Amino acid sequence: METLGNATFENYVGLENGYSEMAYQMVAHILTLGYAVMLAALLYFVLTINYVAPRFRISSVLSVVVMVSAFLLLYAQAGNWTSSFIFDQETGRYFLGEGQDLFNNGYRYLNWLIDVPMLLFQILFVVSLTKSKFSSIRNQFWFSGTGMIITGYIGQFYEVTNFLTFAIWGAISTVFFIHILWLMKKVIDEGKEGIPEAAQNTLNTIWILFLVSWMLYPGAYLMPHLAGIEGGFFNETGVVARQITYTIADVCSKVIYGVLLTVVAQHISKAEGYVYGEAKS
């Protein structure tokens, strides 16, 4: 057991009990679904870029950046899963393969280092701030976004070996997270001023979507310890639950969020007289 060191709990489960066919395949499939969605959505964001007035198009460009980086990361993550665990014919289960790379969610965290600032900046190109300064909000998003992820990245190495270290880094990361939530609420509240009602309603939906989908990530961080400190989700159910949680969170926080921002931009564009495909008078 000690030989795995700071490996994440997926490896401990794979070494001790192995994975049933269903658990193994569900993770492989859900990771594949994840990168397939990112590639499909990439096309969506490229093809719809002219649906909004020119000044909003940078929002679509940022979605494209997020889609490319998420696609590559999830593709690597899926390969990491299938190469880490090997089918054992005697037991009919998948075990941690010898001489293979261990499985690690750290790829995700480093991907978030790109995606989180992009997703936060993205809304600033759609809404107009009435009181706050663009550069001040942008810098704070940048500071707390990267702070949240780097501290969480360090913490996740200790999820099995040292619960206290894991909890302390997680708590520091949460402070940055609360700051981000507070900033985002401010941006959305200011952004709602003076825009069409349909756009205001979509911004309300974006706030709920943001809140719920971003909270899923700390949920996934805690997954091996949910339902009790000892045992609990420290098994294949927890492993499957974590990857499902990540995939739902990724689709909501990157794809649906990007689509809804385009909808807000479309409402505002229309109110300003920009309709795609109509000649300017």
Interface with ligand RET (CB under 6 A) = 112, 115-116, 119, 148-149, 152, 170, 173-174, 177, 214, 217-218, 221, 253-254
Supply the minimum distance, in Å, between the C-beta of residue 145 and ligand RET: 8
Q: Which is nearer to ligand RET, 30 or 119 (CB)?
A: 119
Supply the minimum distance, in Å, between the C-beta of residue 216 and ligand RET: 8
Supply the minimum distance, in Å, between the C-beta of residue 87 and ligand RET: 31
Query: Which residue number is nearest to ligand RET in terms of Cβ?
Result: 152
C-alpha to C-alpha distance for 230 and 11, rounded to whole angstroms:
17
Check residue 19 and report its DSSP letter.
B
CB atoms within 10 A of CB 215: 12
C-alpha to C-alpha distance for 226 and 10, rounded to whole angstroms:
15
C-alpha to C-alpha distance for 90 and 92, rounded to whole angstroms:
6
Q: Which is nearer to ligand RET, 253 or 266 (CB)?
A: 253
Q: Which is nearer to ligand RET, 174 or 200 (CB)?
A: 174
Supply the minimum distance, in Å, between the C-beta of residue 176 and ligand RET: 7
C-alpha to C-alpha distance for 204 and 224, rounded to whole angstroms:
33
C-alpha to C-alpha distance for 102 and 11, rounded to whole angstroms:
7
Residue whose entry in the numeric block shows the structure tokens 């979509």: 202
CB atoms within 10 A of CB 216: 18
CB atoms within 10 A of CB 273: 10
Supply the minimum distance, in Å, between the C-beta of residue 198 and ligand RET: 26
Q: Which is nearer to ligand RET, 96 or 241 (CB)?
A: 241
Q: Which is nearer to ligand RET, 19 or 159 (CB)?
A: 159
Burial class (CB in 10 A: 0-12, 13-18, 19+), 245: middle
